[in-house]
Structure 1
Amino acid sequence: MALPSHLLLALLALSLGTPAAAQTQPPARERQERQVVLPSNPNESAPEARVAAGIATYFRFDAPLDKASLDLEGRPARFRWVDVGERLIAVEPSVDLGAEEKLVVRVRYKDGASPAVAMLVLVSHPTLVDKEVEVVRRPRTVEALEATLADKEAELAALRALSGPAGLVFSGRLDPDGVQARRIMNAPAGARGGLNVAGGEGYRAGSWALAVVRVRNLPGQSPWMPGVARLTRADGTAVKVRSVDMNKAQLAPGEEGLVAVEPEAPFWKVGEVFRLELLDKSGVRRLPILEVAL
């Protein structure tokens, strides 16, 4: 005897397993935005962030990041997309993490403040996922700030001692032989590249030498700052230059400044004459070649 049509449809639905299939569908995860605070104590647990396959999670930081320092466990095998910005890290897993699986994210801040490194732990949650996470550092206590201030004051006192005459002795840069100074020889008259030489000296001690030139940027010229210094012996041999410094950030039109050029530790006889040339960062505006005794 033929079964009624409504019974046939019910049996067909049961054979296809439609109700069971619907029950196995994973629930949609609720997307959240929240803030996490980084611990100041390295022994404290790192905050967790919930991620999910196919969903991008954005971490926004309260200070600039060293983008090259990013360390992400499971990359690239477990992530479809990772991006790092000035203050943002974005990740999108390609697969869901296991129930007990944890992946660590580390990145260093540029400012060096404590904590210097941000560490987060990525986990999976059955019903929640973090769409945006604001990452902040815990405010420092008064005691911690006072301790930091004391350290900085001690560092400043040490720097002041080293910057004065006593510091020269402490560092060994001033010995019983003292320092000898000579005026720049054959300082060229006139200007070149919109610059003029207003004098200078060469200083020589046992372990160091220094050429100091007073430079004037002529009126009507663009601002100038030194970029490269070339120091050459009489036989044409180049001497390595350790540093080029000026007592001002740049010279405005009509302004004068002192440029100090420090070569490598001297291996030549005292009073040897060198040819000195100063160029700006573009290499276009240069001073006339000077003769200086070191």
Structure 2
Amino acid sequence: MHASSSAILLGLWLVAGASTAQGATASGEGARRIELEPNVSGASVEVAVSPGLSTVLLFDSELVLEGTEFEGRDFFSNVDSGRTTMRLVPSARVSPGEKFRVAVRFRDGAAPVGASFLLVVHPARADALVEVYRNKRTVESYQEETREARAETLRCQDENARIKSEHGAPGGLAGLLAVGSVDVGGLAGRIVTKSVTSGPKNALAADKIHTYRSTNRVALEIWLTAQRSEAPWVASGAALRSSTGIEVKVLRVWQVAPVTLGEPRRVVVEAEAPADASRGSYSLKLWEDAGPRTVTLSGVTFP
């Protein structure tokens, strides 16, 4: 299929959607807040970590450094503990789904006397900043929570408005115009198969890679092939990052059929168009649901 024809067909799909479309994983942007009550039980709080990505635990109380317990310390390339902080960076030795327990004790002896965290390895995402609060909450903390709730409400309202706008739009080219996804410049496409680098640990081979850009969206179209006979592979999430480490919001991941040994299968990733979509390169990581097999592509460029 010629690039121009492929661009038109993909553009129509972006509006029409598909019954097999899967929602992308939330980006996890901003700080995560954890409240510890005086009567908290011994249950561990789950915190997402990922190889090579930094996770910082920020406490509102001073820690007893010698009282920290860390299971699997050797699987982390960086563990930096301070009076009120702990920075964690897993090494490449960890695998998706692995869990490591970390327990800390607070110096003042007030309840709760400590906290326990379960570090769960994710193939591409980590909780960048986790703020841990205990006991009394100040007026400022309530105000901050109110601001965060208001911001989340506005974000949900914007997302609902976008979804309603797309679902209420006509199909075909008229639909693209109705939701503002194309203008007189049209939908641009580019074949980037030869310029993209595949990760050395990729579970699947990328045979063809096309990228697209409209007025407010970017998309990648990838044909994946299994390299050995294993269980069928289905993409459940994607992360798209710029060369400077900024993560682009992924809107959806769609796959025509599971990847099995033999025939290439198409996976489409749609994301918000960053301001510099036409400049620089990006990296893409795809992963399956609750599985260790991932696909990493670097050097991705958009028209």
TM range (shorter): 0.3 to 0.5
TM-score by length of 2: 0.40
TM-score (norm 1): 0.41
